[in-house]
Structure 1
Amino acid sequence: MVELLGTLRKQAVEFNSRQPPTVVHLESRQLRAQLADAHARDQQLARRLAESITIGGERGVRPTRSLNLAIHTYGHGDRPDRRAAVYAWPLGEPADVQIRYVSDDSIESAEALYESAFGTGADTADLYCAMLPEVLASLLGFEVNEIEVVD
């Protein structure tokens, strides 16, 4: 099964390398729609995998996850590739995708950015932080060179 997944990934990378980049808009409604579609698809795949194979010594239905994304907007507005972003997958419905934009210039860590966006004590399950293009590519199921981020 692992070899099959590796082969499928290699074929997808080869196919995608010949395609034009997918445009990712930062306007909140469009971005939320793209992320919600990808997140629902990923959660459905995760459920199928959990029901079909043993992962971490467990098999069967696992709780679904929602998606919270915080984007740091401090800095040059014309350089979305230089913005930081952080996301987490708290327990919840896959359709629950929240995006928050934070412009506070005093934020110094991923945890502080996430807390500023979603409040103190917010669920930080699987917290991940990187530059915005890397985060969006990961959440949408692409490699960084397969997307074009536009305002």
Structure 2
Amino acid sequence: MGVFTSCCIIDDDEFFILSSKNTLKQVDFSTNILYYTNGQKALDGLVGLIVENIKLPTIIFLDLNMPKRDGWSFLEEFEALPEDKIKHIQIYITSSFISPSLIEKAKKYKLVKDYIVKPLTEKALLKITASQKVT
């Protein structure tokens, strides 16, 4: 059934998407898993859900380095959406880079909950579920 109704992966690395989806399923993290291969497709898709009055995913795993629209640009646009549509969302930055400056920059965004160094592991997912109010 999944701890969360839905989650979303935004990453241009198809192997990361596939392995993350498998890990999410192993820990029964989410009933529905959306994914987008760049920030622009994600923004378009999520805005489309808002237009259709469909609740957005509770958890978003966001890569920073992507073509067309990177994670930072996605965050800027996404946080400008109507607050009543996005206030329930928690974004987890997923990156291969371990950089104190990137981690500090991520903390400046109100929806960013944490910074996870890839890969997305069962341990990281269980930490999220343990620290969250189940939706």
**Structures share fold, TM-score greater than 0.5:** no
Bigger Cα Rg: 1
